[in-house]
Amino acid sequence: MQKTICGKLYDTETSAIVKKVTFGNFGEPCGYEETLYVTDGGNYFLYTNGGEDSPYKAENIKRMSKKAADEWVASH
């Protein structure tokens, strides 16, 4: 998935995975995944996707600061 935020491209295909967390099993309506990525330029973003009853009903990308990314990793 690709998304441009504030003029910067965030791309799951060209970025490195820092950490991935899944909740539930694939195909469950309440299941979802959160994947933290870092770009070659050092920009962090969280990719989210889930079932129809999950907090993430559609694919999305949210940019994150280094501090927020570190806190996310520590809490997951």
In 1-76, where does DSSP find H-type helix? 66-75
Q: Is the pLDDT of residue 26 over 90?
A: no
**What's the mean pLDDT when you consider all of the chain?**
94
pTM recorded for the entire structure: 0.91
Separation CA 51–CA 19 (nearest Å): 20
pLDDT for 49? 95
d(C-alpha 6, C-alpha 21), whole Å = 26
Checking if the pLDDT of 25 tops 90, the result is: no
> What pLDDT is attached to residue 27?
81
pLDDT tens readout for residues 41-75 = 999 999 999 999 999 989 999 999 999 999 999 99
